[in-house]
Structure 1
Amino acid sequence: MTSPLQQKIKIAGPSIVTANRTWDGIVVYRTGSKGWSAELADAAIVRNSDEAKALLAEAVADDVGAIGPYIAPVQLGDDGKIEPGNLREQIRKAGVTIELPAQG
């Protein structure tokens, strides 16, 4: 399997780096301050493949905070609000799609 950093990255618009937090699996987004946030609004936005590669490399190196980072498209509203750019990311942002068994 080819590493994400070895793949050719094509950016067709604004994008972010997303992953899952290691201790609870929640969806997180890479921020401009080299951290992770559960809020899409905090995500660092990249607009070209060089920026995307740099942000992804930084995220991959942080394998303690999150796992499985990858580049995902986003859409920017007229008000600057960040929204998921495809169905997969809409589902990930909304949360689980099935009812989970009760804990306890």
Structure 2
Amino acid sequence: MTSPLQQKIRITGPSVVTANRTFDGVVIYRTGNGGWSTDLADAAIVREADPARALLAEAVADDIGAVGAYIAPVKIDDAGTIIPGNLREQIRKTGLTIALTAQA
């Protein structure tokens, strides 16, 4: 398996680094100050491969706080709000796509 840092990074627009928090699996985003946040609005935005690679390297090094770090596309609307850039990230941000029924 190829390490995320060894894969070719292709950035086609604004992107963030995302992962899952190790102790509860919650989706988290890498911030500009080297921390993590559950709020996409706090995420560091990268637009080129080298800064993306550096942010990803920092995230991968934090294997105690987060797992499965990778670069994800985002969009920035006219109001400056950061929104997920693809269906996978929309699902990760909002949760389940089906309603759960109560078990009897």
Structure 1-normalised TM-score? 0.93
Distance 1:61 1:100 in 2: 39
The residue correspondences of 1:74-93 to structure 2 (distance < 5 A) are 74-93=74-93
Instruction: Render the CA deviation track for 1:33-75: whole Å, top value 9, x for unaligned.
Output: 1011000000000000001000000000011111000000000
Distance 1:45 1:34 in 2: 13
Give the direction of change, closer, same or farther, for the CA distance of 1:26–1:73 in structure 2 (3 Å limit): same
Q: What is the alpha-carbon root mean square deviation over aligned residues? A: 1.5
Structure 2-normalised TM-score? 0.93
Unaligned stretches of 5+ residues in structure 2: none
Distance 1:64 1:37 in 2: 15
Runs of 4 or more off by more than 6 Å in structure 1? none
The residue correspondences of 1:13-92 to structure 2 (distance < 5 A) are 13-92=13-92
Unaligned stretches of 5+ residues in structure 1: none
Distance 2:82 2:60 in 1: 23
Identity of aligned residues (%): 72
Distance 1:58 1:97 in 2: 31
Offset, 1:97 = 3.4
Offset, 1:101 = 7.7
